[in-house]
Amino acid sequence: MEQHRTVTATGGLCAKCGACTVACPVFQVTGREYHGGRGKLHLLARLDPHTASATYAEILSRCLLCGACEAVCPRGLKITDEIARARAQLSRRAGEHNFLRFLTRQALAHPGLAKGLGTLLRLAEKLPAESGLRLRLNLPAADAVTAKAPPTPGPVDPATPLLYFAGCFATHLQPEIALATASLCRKAGQPTPVAARGQGCCGLAAYAAGDLDTAKKLACRNLEAFAGSEAPILVSCASCLSHLTSYPALLADEPEWRDQAIAFVARLREFSTLLLAGLADQTTDRAPQPPASRQRVLYHDPCHLRFRLKITEAPRTLLGRFPQLQLVELPHGPQCCGHGGLFHLAHPTLSAEIRDRLLADFAATGAETVTTTCTGCLLQWQQGLAMTEHPSRVMHLALLLDTLLP
Ligand code: SF4
Ligand code: SF4
C-alpha cells in the first residue's frame, strides 16, 4: 500500500483525485499524466532530483508554474513549490544552471522559434547588464536605448505617499507602461507613484530556472530599494507582483531578511485594485452608449493573478466603468496563454499549442482589443495575433485606460 501513497516533501498527502491534472494547461494539450500536478508529485515522491536523469529534468521543465493545479487541489498542496524546489536541486547537482542550460538549448535548437526568439532577443538587448532576465537569456551587455525614457527613479523618502515597482518590461522595454501608469494615477486622484531607485528584476525568471541563489539576491536588492518607507508600492506587472509576494517564503531561511520581506509584501498594491479605489465611475456622468459603438475588449487573466493572488474581478470592474468599452469573455472561460516565462523558449511547440487553443476561443469573441497586466502574456498575445494576422490589438491595461481618460 505504501508504494501507492504520494507524500510531498513537506508531508502533504495527495488524494489522487486528479483535479490538478484536468486543470493543467500542459496536460490539456499532451494528455500525459506525468505532465499534470499529480503526475509530477508522484515522480517527485519517488525520484531524488540530485541523481535523476535528463528525462526527469525534461518532465520537470514542462511546467509553466501557473498555479492552476494548486488552485483546485482539495488538499492545498503546494505543487509549484515542490517543482521549483526540485529544479533547484537539479541545478545544484550540475554545479551550475543545468535547468537553464536545458531551456536555452531547447530554445536555440528549435527552428520554428526563430522569429519569436529574434523578437524577444531584440527586446532583451535593451535590458541592462544586471537584469535577471538578461542573465537568464545569457545575453551580452548592450547599451540600452528605449523609445521613451521611463520615469526617473527617486530616493525613497518617508514622505512619498506612493512608490512604484515597474519590473524589467516597463522599465527597459516598454516605458510607456510606466508613464501611462503614472498618468492614470494622477487622473484617478492617486499620488504620482515614484519608482524607487535601486530596484531591479523581481527574480521570477531565476526562481523558475531553479537558481534560488540569484532569486534571493534579487529579492534582497528590492527589499533594500524600498526600505526606509511604509508607503504602499504599486506594481503594474501581474507576474512581478505574484513573485514579489513570495519573498517571505523565498527568504524564510534568512532571518535577517524574513521580517522585512513580510512588511514589504503588506505594502504591495495590485494595479487595477489601486486604481479602482480612486477612479470615479465614468459611466455615471455620461449617456449610455449603444453596444455597436463600443470597443469590444477582452480582459486576459494572467495565471499568476488569477490563481495565486485570486484577483479577477477588479480589472473587469475597472474596465466596466468606461462607457466606451464593452467587456467580452471567452466562451469557455479564462485560459492560460502558454507563455510561462522561459517555458515558451524551452517548449515552443507546447507553448504554441496552449496559445492556439486560447486564440481559437478568442476568435469567437469578436474583440478588437485584448488587455492584461502581465508582460509575458502581452508578448504571447502579440506574437500569436501577429502570426495569425489577426487584426486585434494587444495593450497593457494602463495604456488602454490612459487613452480613454481625459
Ligand atoms: S503549475 Fe500549471 S503547468 Fe505546472 S503542473 Fe501545475 S497546472 Fe500544470
Ligand atoms: S488535486 Fe491535489 S490531491 Fe488531487 S491529485 Fe492533484 S495534488 Fe493530489
What is residue 91's predicted lDDT score, i.e. its pLDDT?
A: 54
What is residue 146's predicted lDDT score, i.e. its pLDDT?
A: 43
What is residue 121's predicted lDDT score, i.e. its pLDDT?
A: 53
Give the single-character DSSP code of 366.
T
Measured by CA distance, the residue closest to atom 1 of ligand 2 is 73
Give the single-character DSSP code of 127.
S
Find the helix or strand (DSSP H, E) in which 9 lies: none
Measured by CA distance, the residue closest to atom 2 of ligand 1 is 66
Residue 333 pLDDT more than 80? Answer: yes
* Residue matched to cell numbers 476568435: 363
* Ligand minimally distant from the alpha carbon of residue 23: 1
14, 22, 26: which to mutate for ligand 1, most atoms within 8 A of CB? Answer: 26
Taking residues 346-354, what's their average pLDDT? 93
* Residue matched to cell numbers 494548486: 70
* Cα–Cα distance measured from residue 80 to residue 209, given in angstroms and rounded to the nearest whole number: 12
Q: 29-43, 66-80, 85-99, 273-287: which has the minimum mean pLDDT?
A: 85-99
% of residues, the chain, pLDDT over 70: 81
Residues near ligand 1 (Cβ within 6 A): 23-26, 36-37, 40, 63-69, 79-80
* Residue matched to cell numbers 494602463: 398
* Cα–Cα distance measured from residue 43 to residue 36, given in angstroms and rounded to the nearest whole number: 11
- Please tell me the pTM assigned to this model: 0.86
Residue 273's contacts (CB-CB under 8 Å, 6 or more residues apart) are: 311, 314
Residue 102 pLDDT more than 60? Answer: no
What is residue 107's predicted lDDT score, i.e. its pLDDT?
A: 46
Q: How far is the CA of 48 from the centre of ligand 2 (A)?
A: 21
pLDDT tens by residue, 176-197? 999 999 999 999 888 999 999 9
Residue-level length of the chain: 406
Q: Domains along the chain?
A: 2-95 (1.10.1060.10), 281-404 (3.40.50)
pLDDT tens by residue, 144-165? 334 566 677 877 888 899 999 9
Please say whether the beta carbons of 209 and 132 come within 8 A: no
E strands in 352-392: 369-372
* Cα–Cα distance measured from residue 354 to residue 364, given in angstroms and rounded to the nearest whole number: 17
Residue 139 pLDDT more than 90? Answer: no
What is residue 135's predicted lDDT score, i.e. its pLDDT?
A: 44
5, 13, 44, 75: which to mutate for ligand 2, most atoms within 8 A of CB? Answer: 75
* Cα–Cα distance measured from residue 165 to residue 144, given in angstroms and rounded to the nearest whole number: 20
Taking residues 233-261, what's their average pLDDT? 96
Please say whether the beta carbons of 322 and 403 come within 8 A: no
Q: 85-99, 119-133, 161-175, 307-321: which has the minimum mean pLDDT?
A: 119-133
Please say whether the beta carbons of 233 and 268 come within 8 A: yes
41, 70, 82, 307: which to mutate for ligand 2, most atoms within 8 A of CB? Answer: 41
Please say whether the beta carbons of 394 and 371 come within 8 A: yes
Residue 86 pLDDT more than 60? Answer: yes
* Ligand minimally distant from the alpha carbon of residue 12: 2
CA 371 from chain center: how many Å? Answer: 14
Measured by CA distance, the residue closest to atom 7 of ligand 1 is 24
* Ligand minimally distant from the alpha carbon of residue 68: 1
Average per-residue pLDDT for the chain: 84
Residue 13 main-chain phi, psi, to 5 deg: -115, 120
- Binning pLDDT at 50, 70 and 90, where does residue 288 land? low
33, 38, 83: which to mutate for ligand 2, most atoms within 8 A of CB? Answer: 38
Q: Which residues pair with 325 in a beta bridge?
A: 295
Residue 328's contacts (CB-CB under 8 Å, 6 or more residues apart) are: 296, 297, 298, 365, 366, 367
Find the helix or strand (DSSP H, E) in which 71 lies: helix 68-72
Radius of gyration of the chain (CA): 21
- Please tell me which residue, 372 or 113, carries the higher pLDDT value: 372
* Ligand minimally distant from the alpha carbon of residue 80: 1
* Cα–Cα distance measured from residue 369 to residue 311, given in angstroms and rounded to the nearest whole number: 21
Find the helix or strand (DSSP H, E) in which 328 lies: strand 325-328
* Cα–Cα distance measured from residue 235 to residue 377, given in angstroms and rounded to the nearest whole number: 16
Residues near ligand 2 (Cβ within 6 A): 14-20, 37-38, 41, 72-75, 77, 79
pLDDT tens by residue, 199-220? 999 999 889 888 888 899 999 9
What is residue 117's predicted lDDT score, i.e. its pLDDT?
A: 46
Q: How far is the CA of 175 from the centre of ligand 1 (A)?
A: 31
One-letter identity of residue 6: T
pLDDT tens by residue, 357-397? 999 999 999 999 999 999 999 999 999 999 888 889 999 99
Residue 11 pLDDT more than 70? Answer: yes
What is residue 52's predicted lDDT score, i.e. its pLDDT?
A: 75
Taking residues 254-259, what's their average pLDDT? 94
Strand order in the sheet with 369-372: 325-328, 295-299, 369-372, 393-396
Helix boundaries (H) for 287-347: 303, 313-320, 343-346
* Cα–Cα distance measured from residue 65 to residue 341, given in angstroms and rounded to the nearest whole number: 9
What is residue 284's predicted lDDT score, i.e. its pLDDT?
A: 62
